């Protein structure tokens, strides 16, 4: 059995799933993606990664970019495709009940966590910030709630001590694509059944705010290490009034003596040693505004560090 599949997605996280569908026996009958957005210094309209991939297929896929699916007009093209399934991967628009009911077999979603932990917009970053030892993907049936639908399949992925959000993003995108195809093939064979999410253990992954990426050196070295990895490459601080991004770091010790948080304690093979509210963080790679990323050693060779404190 084959299914007519419509696809809804926008960013790069959705690309492995769309590629997998395009290589499968199930025909992709159309793609929903968000409208082109202004980007770059010139603020020129830029298509989403999903639109670029869909446009490059031969023959090109039908593409719809409604600003909302809450109106009949916004849903018109999706309805005209008459899909059996709608696969949703980081689409970015709310699917109202009228849209959820259009596909004959409903809507499947790839979610980047082990539900019910980290429902919501930023599961990868929240897992890193919480110090979770593992994460994964869940293939779920969308319903009217926020990531509350029954789960068909989950696949687990260990979080390494140096993994950044980018590392997990790429790994989970690929893991999700393979889990999606396993789910669809199971549905086609009649062997795949969804199970309700557990009532216990639900957490909410709130959308990331820009202010969260600012490093507060009064926090512990462990927390700061998690923030650098979770917000990579946007974790930022200041030094002598200059804005800096901290790209790589690691916990380097448990004691900083009486040094005030943010104080530079010296430089070692691991990087710039910085006193934290608790412990020491080794800053290993930095980026000055408008410059290329550099190692801590190269940064130290270019800047007089004596007496300076991060966060000032």
Return the HEC string of the chain.
CCCCEEEEECCHHHHHHHHHHHCCCCCEEEEECCCCEEECCCCEEECCHHHHHHHHCCCCCCEECCCCCCCHHHHHHHHHHCCCEEEEECCCCCCCHHHHCCCCCCEEEEECCCCCCCEECCHHHHHHHCCCCEEEEEEEECCCCCCCCCEEEEEEEECCCCCCHHHHHHHHHHHHHHHHHHHHHHHHHCCCCCECCCCCCCCEECCCCHHHHECCCCCEHHHHHHHHHHCCCCCEEEECCEEEEEEEEEEEECCCCCCCCCEEEEEECCEEEEECCECEEEEEEEEECCCCCEEHHHHHHHCCCCCCEECC
Sign of the alpha-carbon dihedral angle for 99, 105, 111, 116:
positive
Report the DSSP beta bridge partners of residue 262.
Answer: none
Residue 174: predicted pLDDT: 98
The rounded radius of gyration (Å) of the Cα atoms in the chain is 23
Residue 44: predicted pLDDT: 85
Residue 212: predicted pLDDT: 96
CA pair distance 187, 3, nearest whole angstrom: 10
Residues 38-81: pLDDT tens digits?
877 778 889 999 999 999 998 889 999 999 999 999 999 999 99
- Going by CATH, does the domain composed of 5-205 fall within 3.30.420.40? no
The domain ranges of the chain are: 5-205, 210-302
Sign of the alpha-carbon dihedral angle for 173, 176, 181, 184:
negative
Residue 307: predicted pLDDT: 77
- Going by CATH, does the domain composed of 210-302 fall within 3.40.50.300? no
CA pair distance 312, 308, nearest whole angstrom: 8
Of 11-15, 105-109, 122-126, 304-308, the least confident? 304-308
CA pair distance 18, 54, nearest whole angstrom: 8
pLDDT of 256 above 80: no
Helices 15-22 & 49-56 angle (0-180, nearest 10) = 20
- Determine if the pTM surpasses 0.85: yes
Residues 268-290: pLDDT tens digits?
887 999 999 999 999 999 999 99
Average pLDDT over residues 143-168: 96
Residues 6+ apart with CB under 8 A from 87: 5, 6, 7, 8, 9, 17, 21, 107, 108, 109, 110, 180, 184
Model confidence band, residue 304 (pLDDT cutoffs 50, 70, 90): confident
Average pLDDT over residues 9-15: 98
Residue 269: predicted pLDDT: 83
Question: Cβ(258)–Cβ(269) under 8 Å?
Answer: no
């Amino acid at each position: 059995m084959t299914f007519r599949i419509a696809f809804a997605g926008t960013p790069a996280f959705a690309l492995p799933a769309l590629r997998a569908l395009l290589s499968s026996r199930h025909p992709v009958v159309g793609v929903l993606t968000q409208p082109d957005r202004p980007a770059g210094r010139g603020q020129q309209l830029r298509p989403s990664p999903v639109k670029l991939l869909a446009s490059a297929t031969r023959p090109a896929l039908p593409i719809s970019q409604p600003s909302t699916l809450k109106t009949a007009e916004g849903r018109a093209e999706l309805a005209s495709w008459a899909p059996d399934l709608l696969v949703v991967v980081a689409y970015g628009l709310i699917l109202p009940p009228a849209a959820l009911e259009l596909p004959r077999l409903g809507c499947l979603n790839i979610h980047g966590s082990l539900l019910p932990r980290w429902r919501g917009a930023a599961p990868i970053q929240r897992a890193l910030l919480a110090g979770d030892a593992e994460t994964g993907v869940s293939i779920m049936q969308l319903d009217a709630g926020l990531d509350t639908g029954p789960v068909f399949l989950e696949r687990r992925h260990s979080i390494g001590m140096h993994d950044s959000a980018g590392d997990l993003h790429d790994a989970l995108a690929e893991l999700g694509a393979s889990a999606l195809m396993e789910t669809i093939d199971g549905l086609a064979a009649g062997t795949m059944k969804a199970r309700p999410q557990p009532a216990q253990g639900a957490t909410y992954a709130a959308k990331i705010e820009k202010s969260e990426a600012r490093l507060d050196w009064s926090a512990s070295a462990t927390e700061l290490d998690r923030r650098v990895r979770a917000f990579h490459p946007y974790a930022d601080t200041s030094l002598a009034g200059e804005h800096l991004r901290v790209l790589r770091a690691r916990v380097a010790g448990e004691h900083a003596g009486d040094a005030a948080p943010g104080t530079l304690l010296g430089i070692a093979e691991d990087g710039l040693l910085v006193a934290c509210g608790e412990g020491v963080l080794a800053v290993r790679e930095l980026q000055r505004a408008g410059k290329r990323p550099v190692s801590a050693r190269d940064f130290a060779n270019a800047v007089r560090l004596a007496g300076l404190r991060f966060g000032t």
